[in-house]
Amino acid sequence: MAIDRVAIVGLGLIGSSIARAIDERLPQVAVTGHDASDDVRGVARELGLCDGIVDDPVAAVADADLVILAVPVGRMADAAAAIAPGLKAGAIISDVGSSKAGVADALAKALPDHIIIPAHPVAGTENSGPAAGFASLFEGRWCIVTPGADASDEAVAAVTGFWQALGAKVETMDAAHHDMVLAVTSHLPHLIAYTIVGTASELEEVTESEVIKYSAGGFRDFTRIAASDPVMWRDVFLANKDAVLATLQRFNEDLTALQQAIRRGDGAKLEEWFTRTRAIRRSIIEQGQDDAAPDFGRKH
Ligand SMILES: NC(=O)c1ccc[n+]([C@@H]2O[C@H](COP(=O)([O-])OP(=O)(O)OC[C@H]3O[C@@H](n4cnc5c(N)ncnc54)[C@H](O)[C@@H]3O)[C@@H](O)[C@H]2O)c1
Ligand SMILES: O=C(O)C(=O)C[C@]1(C(=O)O)C=C[C@@H](O)C=C1
């Protein structure tokens, strides 16, 4: 399945990064962009994103071999319904949503007669909008493709090849498994960051603004994550509710165990736990999966 024409629906951080990466790495591919927001379409035109930015979602996808929905998870169904009348026969519809099982169901309902191959580039930043994107975002990062049982090998290969061409490493897995793994590695960490920063800010009265003043180290790392897009993350937690709640239950139990160790003065327990987590961090670095310490000046 040749991909000569791509349509990107949603031109925020991820959609605009895909547009930039195609421009740099697949210049022969024609790209049409659409966003529901007039403002975003205006900025995308000013930035020169895509070969053309189209106001009408139906016109945006006409002739596309691959349509990528890069909208918040809770907006996937609307976006799919809006493009449905414009899709050509044989077009592949994909998405970049951070949770997969619910999105796959929504897309299958909205587009029952089309080829749907969901995907999730596990790469992003705390920023959003078309100006925040950059072409190298997917380089060396994982993209997880979650085809349904009836997906053709050809269509999966086309989406896999597309993401590899943008520099990503591709893994294929079941949507439910993806949602369990990402609940641990991405969704829970965001929930924890949102909690810590919110709690610290509520404690400002007690600490007389010292939280902000002395936020140089660990706390500052959490504030980067806690600055992530509120709408995107609202939708992720609502969509991946079961896996997040299961992971949170386990987290709460472990937190209680550490709380107990502190209360009982159980230094051995604390040291054993921290030694294990330090080893995990070091093995991530050895596997080359760390993109360095948080870079607050990262290109966006
Ligand atoms: N931000 C990340 O780190 C990251 C990483 C990987 C995947 N994702 C996923 O990518 C998707 C997009 O996230 P983002 O960070 O680019 O968000 P973003 O807020 O930067 O961009 C989303 C864009 O979608 C547009 N939009 C909303 N509803 C629409 C509709 N019905 N039709 C057309 N356009 C619509 C918005 O106007 C906005 O411009 C989300 O599903 C998110 O879960 C995000
Ligand atoms: O680096 C960040 O700022 C991110 O939060 C990126 C991150 C992640 O949790 O790893 C966030 C959401 C995604 O769906 C994929 C990637």
The ipTM, to two decimals, is 0.99
- Split at pLDDT 50, 70, 90, the class of 125 is very high
- Would you say 300 and 132 are in contact if contact means Cβ atoms under 8 Å apart? yes
Query: Element (H or E) spanning 114, and its range?
Result: none
- What's the CA gap between 12 and 235, in Å, rounded? 16
Delineate the domains of the chain, giving CATH numbers in brackets: 5-174 (3.40.50.720), 177-286 (1.10.3660.10)
How much is the pLDDT for 290?
60
Q: How far is the CA of 36 from the centre of ligand 2 (A)?
A: 23
> How many other C-beta atoms are found inside a 10 Å radius of the C-beta of residue 178?
26
- Split at pLDDT 50, 70, 90, the class of 208 is low
Q: How far is the CA of 262 from the centre of ligand 2 (A)?
A: 31
On the question of pLDDT at 300 being above 50, the answer is: no
- Ligand 1 atom nearest to 129, measured from its CA: 20
Q: How far is the CA of 185 from the centre of ligand 2 (A)?
A: 9
CA-nearest residue for atom 27, ligand 1, is 71
- Split at pLDDT 50, 70, 90, the class of 298 is very low
Considering every ligand atom, which ligand is closest to the CA of 74? Answer: 1
Compute the average pLDDT of residues 73-97: 97
Considering every ligand atom, which ligand is closest to the CA of 186? Answer: 2
Class of residue 16 by CB neighbours under 10 A (exposed 0-12, middle 13-18, buried 19+): buried
The verdict on the CB of residue 9 being under 6 Å from ligand 1 is yes
Strands 142-145 and 169-172: parallel
The string of pLDDT tens digits covering residues 1-14 is: 899 999 999 999 99
- Ligand 2 atom nearest to 121, measured from its CA: 15
The string of pLDDT tens digits covering residues 131-155 is: 999 999 999 999 999 999 999 999 9
The verdict on the CB of residue 136 being under 6 Å from ligand 1 is no
How much is the pLDDT for 291?
54
Compute the average pLDDT of residues 260-274: 98
Question: Quick check: helix, strand or coil at residue 51?
Answer: coil
CA-nearest residue for atom 11, ligand 2, is 124
Higher-confidence residue of 291 and 2: namely: 2
Predicted TM-score of the model (pTM) = 0.94
How much is the pLDDT for 34?
98
Choose the residue to mutate in 8, 11, 14 for probing ligand 1, maximizing ligand atoms within 8 Å of C-beta. Answer: 14
